[in-house]
């Protein structure tokens, strides 16, 4: 029996056809060129530079000095190093628990709604339009232990006020809540798009079989969106592990280093301590970890395409 | 084959394009030698940082007038002013240096000076600085900020040391005498309790504990008590001492026993300023420049505030701060000479530039704060004090307790690796202010171990 390969046969194109194709797509290449230059400058070059920096000591005046693994040894010896990685992992974990399910549930609810659909979608997406710094500072006010909105709400229910950002036990989760709220709209929108691509007849069949809302979600929606759920999971891990703006603006890494993250520590090294080598070393470590997740993501999306 | 060559050509085009853009982005500042060979009257253009921003029109007008006057006096020199608020953003310092956009004469805080010298990111101006007429009168401790051994790397613009800033209006409201500010920490406790008792939102005493500012204020309180951050040789931490413990015990008492520090913590630089400006904060550690900032940027009114020395600090040391200018390490000798002439004119001459109090008064700008103090009791110092008194527009008596103590207080500079040590001590400060059961001995011991590692790396 012949083995069927998944690989498509290689198509040999005619040289003249190729030239015509290039000519036809010249405008497209022009546009692509701009994007490539931007990517090269603002993404790839800094990335390569960062890798180089992590093995150097530089003052940006004299030629940089190669120091081997010294920058890595320095950051390893930093007492905040362990806290930073633990907090980053905890933040990502909490963000998955809190922030992963909510947009999906919201998308399901929005998809099931018959009235005010467009309005509610707009409302859910609205926070995404807010500049992140504004969103974070808004929450700073919400978290105020005295006049803050959250403690006022607790007070209505005769519950004791919480120290939100000022306690080692609640600070990190408070940052997760901010992050979840700010990214809610994007996640919901992506899930909604995925939900709408599910053929309606599947639901009709399920309804004919007597399935209620919960069973329809469990037996139709979840299997049909399995792949997008997985992709979003990976994207969320990659995004949350780079958390910076929340600890930078809300807690300054405190209390007692409870919210120091790898990205925040990296910033401290580079800009507070003027040690770009140390910052680069931390950045490289984070990049390697994120590359693993990115590789899984690419694999999953490729499998999907195939 | 053709496809391949097309691809290769396209690839080459892209690479060449990238290369072109890259080279066009290079600095235009890489030719220091071009202008360095001329004599004293050679044409020279210098870029100078910290021109007041457009949002501060009175100060900007004064600056621009000074530039015009200076250029009239020195027709061969052109000043290209660069504005920014704040004058320096540590985040962009390294990037500007790397990108070649750092000014020839760049603005710097005292906190960063030694770091910049050690990193060899400033030009050595020892050879030229003798031309500044008032150099010999500058306070040695202030000039010392910009020195490493016998080499000089910059000149000061302002200088101050820490005190206790208080809100006189709140003092009156709380039944306290604003003309008799607290002299002991026990008196601070009493005053703080009364101010906090004014009602919701009022905080008696505020303190930082995040973004390295907690460690910075820990050092200020420690110095005022006679303690020190590092050993004489700078190789080990010295803050785990009776004085260090007293700083944290004191805060713990006010935060948890007196409930006079408010429940919101993890405060950073602008938080206390904002609270001061809004009239909600009674007292904080800070220099007279806090009042200036609260007045200029946080809607406070000069007359509502007073400054005194840090309690119980008479005759001891006070953490000193300030700012000044350093020179781009790539600046040519001519640029350095021109820059020194400008600094002498604008920052260091009584009656001129920043000390032109007559103009400040005419412009309706506040005059009378006991800062900066660059010359101490020397002739230029006396002249500046007299001019300040002559044109005073703010109630100078509100700052008298601070000003009068200056003769007996020693300015003490920040420790080596200041930012790293401050980051370590943020942990202890935030612990004491956010956790009732914080173990001060353990916090200080942990911080000491961490600081020793940092200092060991330094040495």
**Mean pLDDT across chain A:** 88
The length of chain A is 306
**pLDDT, tens digit (0-9, with 9 covering 90-100), for B174-200:** 999 999 999 999 999 999 999 999 988
A19–B14: do the CB atoms touch at under 8 Å? no
Q: Which residues of B touch A78 (CB under 8 A)?
A: 453
B94–A168: do the CB atoms touch at under 8 Å? no
Query: Contact at 8 Å (CB) between B254 and B204?
Result: yes
- Using a CB–CB cutoff of 8 Å, tell me whether A200 touches chain B: no
- Residue B12's pLDDT band (cuts 50, 70, 90): very low
Average pLDDT for residues A122-146, to the nearest whole number?
90
pLDDT over 50 (residue A275):
yes
Query: Contact at 8 Å (CB) between B305 and B292?
Result: no
Looking at residue B37, what is its pLDDT?
42
CA distance A269 to chain B (A): 9
- Helix, strand, coil: what percent of chain A each, to 5? 75, 0, 25
- Which domains, and CATH codes, for chain B? 4-160+321-397 (3.40.190.10), 163-286+417-457 (3.40.190.10)
Query: Contact at 8 Å (CB) between B357 and B388?
Result: yes
Looking at residue B1, what is its pLDDT?
37
User: A293: how many CB neighbours lie within 10 A of its CB?
Assistant: 17
Backbone angles phi and psi of B77, in degrees to 5: -105, 130
Q: What is the ipTM of this complex?
A: 0.84
User: What whole-number distance in Å separates Cα of residue B175 and Cα of residue B195?
Assistant: 9
Query: Contact at 8 Å (CB) between A185 and A125?
Result: yes
Provide the 8-state DSSP code for B104.
Answer: S
**pLDDT, tens digit (0-9, with 9 covering 90-100), for B447-456:** 999 999 999 8
**pLDDT, tens digit (0-9, with 9 covering 90-100), for B44-88:** 999 999 999 888 888 999 999 999 999 999 999 999 999 987 788
Looking at residue B323, what is its pLDDT?
93
Angle CA(B260)–CA(B264)–CA(B270) in degrees, nearest 5? 105
Task: Give the B window 432-451 contacts with A, CB below 8 Å.
Answer: 433-435, 449-450
Of the given ranges (A11-20, A73-82, B11-20), which has the lowest mean pLDDT? Answer: B11-20
Query: Contact at 8 Å (CB) between A255 and B266?
Result: yes
Give the pair of three-digit tokens for residue B376.
């101490």
Looking at residue B32, what is its pLDDT?
42
Backbone angles phi and psi of A75, in degrees to 5: -70, -30
The length of chain B is 459
Query: Contact at 8 Å (CB) between B430 and B218?
Result: no
Three-class DSSP category at B230: strand
- Which domains, and CATH codes, for chain A? 78-274 (1.10.3720.10)
pLDDT over 50 (residue B36):
no
pTM summary value? 0.86
Burial class (CB in 10 A: 0-12, 13-18, 19+), B184: exposed
- Residue B405's pLDDT band (cuts 50, 70, 90): confident
pLDDT over 50 (residue A190):
yes
Closest CA to A103 of A198, A179, A203, A174: A179
**pLDDT, tens digit (0-9, with 9 covering 90-100), for B252-285:** 999 999 999 999 999 998 899 999 999 999 999 9
pLDDT over 80 (residue B11):
no
Task: Give the B window 127-156 contacts with A, CB below 8 Å.
Answer: none
Angle CA(B163)–CA(B168)–CA(B174) in degrees, nearest 5? 120
- Residue A115's pLDDT band (cuts 50, 70, 90): confident
pLDDT over 80 (residue B458):
no
Looking at residue A27, what is its pLDDT?
86
Collect all residues with Cβ–Cβ distance below 8 Å to B8 and sequence separation of at least 6: none
pLDDT over 50 (residue B33):
no
**pLDDT, tens digit (0-9, with 9 covering 90-100), for A200-255:** 888 889 888 888 888 888 888 888 888 888 888 888 999 999 999 999 999 999 89
pLDDT over 80 (residue B28):
no
Backbone angles phi and psi of B262, in degrees to 5: 75, 165
Looking at residue B316, what is its pLDDT?
78
- Residue A40's pLDDT band (cuts 50, 70, 90): very high
Angle CA(B136)–CA(B139)–CA(B144) in degrees, nearest 5? 95
Of the given ranges (A162-166, B29-33, B52-56, B338-342), which has the lowest mean pLDDT? Answer: B29-33
A254–B266: do the CB atoms touch at under 8 Å? yes
Interhelix angle B242-252/B213-224, rounded to 10 degrees, is: 120
Whether the link from the prior residue into B364 is cis, omega within 30° of 0, is: no
Average pLDDT for residues A14-27, to the nearest whole number?
77
pLDDT over 70 (residue A6):
no
Reported as type and span, the H/E element at residue B204 is: strand B203-206
Give the pair of three-digit tokens for residue B260.
């006079």
pLDDT over 50 (residue B321):
yes
- Using a CB–CB cutoff of 8 Å, tell me whether B453 touches chain A: yes
pLDDT over 70 (residue A12):
no
Closest CA to B124 of B103, B148, B145, B153: B153
A272–B264: do the CB atoms touch at under 8 Å? no
User: B151: how many CB neighbours lie within 10 A of its CB?
Assistant: 13
């Amino acid at each position: 029996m012949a083995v069927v390969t998944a690989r498509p046969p290689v198509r040999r194109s005619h040289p003249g056809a190729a030239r015509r194709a290039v000519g036809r797509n010249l405008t497209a290449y022009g546009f692509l060129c701009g994007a490539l230059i931007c990517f090269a400058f603002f993404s790839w070059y800094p990335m390569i530079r960062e890798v180089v920096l992590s093995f150097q000591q530089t003052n940006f005046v004299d030629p940089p000095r190669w120091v081997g693994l010294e920058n890595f040894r320095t950051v390893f010896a930093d007492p905040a190093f362990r806290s930073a990685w633990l907090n980053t992992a905890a933040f990502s974990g909490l963000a998955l628990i809190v922030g992963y399910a909510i947009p999906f549930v919201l998308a399901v609810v929005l998809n099931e709604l018959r009235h005010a659909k467009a309005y509610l979608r707009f409302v859910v997406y609205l926070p995404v339009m807010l500049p992140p710094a504004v969103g974070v500072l808004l929450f700073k006010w919400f978290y105020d232990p005295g006049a803050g909105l959250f403690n006022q709400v607790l007070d209505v229910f005769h519950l004791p006020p919480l120290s939100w950002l000022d306690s080692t036990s609640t600070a990190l989760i408070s940052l997760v809540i901010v992050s979840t709220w700010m990214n809610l709209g994007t996640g919901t929108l992506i899930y909604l798009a995925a939900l709408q691509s599910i053929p309606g007849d599947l639901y009709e069949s399920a309804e004919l079989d007597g399935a209620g809302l919960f069973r329809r979600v469990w037996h139709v929606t979840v299997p049909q969106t399995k792949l997008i759920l997985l992709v979003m999971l990976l994207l969320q891990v990659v995004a949350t592990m780079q958390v910076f703006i929340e600890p930078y603006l809300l807690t300054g890494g405190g209390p007692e280093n409870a919210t120091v993250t790898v990205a925040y520590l990296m910033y401290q090294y580079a800009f507070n301590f003027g040690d770009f080598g140390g910052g680069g070393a931390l950045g490289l470590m984070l990049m390697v970890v994120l590359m693993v997740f990115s590789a899984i993501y690419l694999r999953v999306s490729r499998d999907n395409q195939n | 084959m053709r496809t391949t060559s097309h691809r290769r050509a396209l690839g080459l085009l892209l690479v060449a394009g990238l290369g072109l853009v890259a080279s066009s982005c290079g600095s235009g500042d890489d030719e220091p030698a071009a202008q360095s060979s001329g004599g004293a009257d050679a044409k020279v253009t210098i870029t100078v940082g910290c021109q007041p921003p457009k949002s501060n029109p009175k100060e900007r007008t004064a600056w621009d007038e000074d530039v015009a006057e200076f250029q009239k006096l020195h027709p061969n020199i052109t000043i290209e002013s660069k504005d920014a608020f704040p004058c320096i953003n540590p985040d962009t310092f390294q990037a500007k240096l790397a990108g070649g956009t750092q000014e020839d004469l760049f603005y710097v805080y005292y906190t960063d000076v030694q770091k910049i010298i050690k990193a060899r990111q400033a030009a050595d101006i020892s050879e030229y600085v003798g031309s500044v007429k008032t150099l010999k009168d500058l306070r040695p401790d202030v000039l010392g900020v910009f020195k490493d051994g016998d080499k000089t790397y910059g000149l000061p613009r302002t200088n101050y040391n820490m005190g206790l800033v208080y809100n006189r209006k709140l003092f009156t409201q709380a039944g306290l005498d604003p003309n008799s500010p607290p002299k002991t920490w026990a008196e601070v406790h009493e005053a703080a309790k009364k101010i906090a008792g004014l009602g919701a939102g009022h905080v008696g005493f505020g303190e930082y504990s995040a973004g390295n500012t907690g460690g910075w204020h820990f050092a200020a309180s420690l110095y005022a008590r006679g303690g020190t951050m590092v050993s004489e040789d700078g190789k080990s931490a010295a803050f785990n001492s009776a004085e260090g413990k007293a700083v944290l015990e004191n805060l713990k008492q006010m935060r948890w026993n007196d409930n006079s520090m408010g429940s919101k913590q993890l405060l950073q630089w602008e938080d206390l300023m904002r609270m001061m400006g809004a009239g909600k904060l009674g007292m904080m550690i800070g220099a007279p420049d806090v009042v200036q900032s609260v007045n200029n940027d946080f809607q406070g009114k000069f007359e509502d505030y007073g400054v005194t020395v840090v309690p119980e600090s008479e005759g001891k040391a006070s953490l000193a701060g300030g700012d000044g200018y350093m020179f781009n390490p790539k600046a040519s000798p001519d640029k350095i000479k021109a820059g020194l002439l400008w600094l002498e004119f604008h920052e260091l001459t009584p009656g001129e530039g920043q000390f032109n109090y007559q103009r400040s008064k005419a412009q309706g700008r506040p005059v009378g704060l006991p800062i900066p103090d660059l010359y101490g009791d020397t002739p230029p110092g006396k002249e500046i004090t007299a001019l300040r008194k002559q044109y005073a527009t703010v109630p100078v008596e509100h700052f008298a307790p601070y000003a009068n103590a200056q003769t007996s207080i020693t300015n003490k500079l920040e420790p080596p690796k200041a930012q790293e040590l401050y980051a370590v001590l943020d942990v202890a400060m935030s612990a004491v202010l956010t956790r009732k059961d914080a173990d001060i001995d353990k916090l200080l011991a942990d911080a000491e171990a961490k600081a020793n590692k940092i200092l060991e790396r330094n040495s």
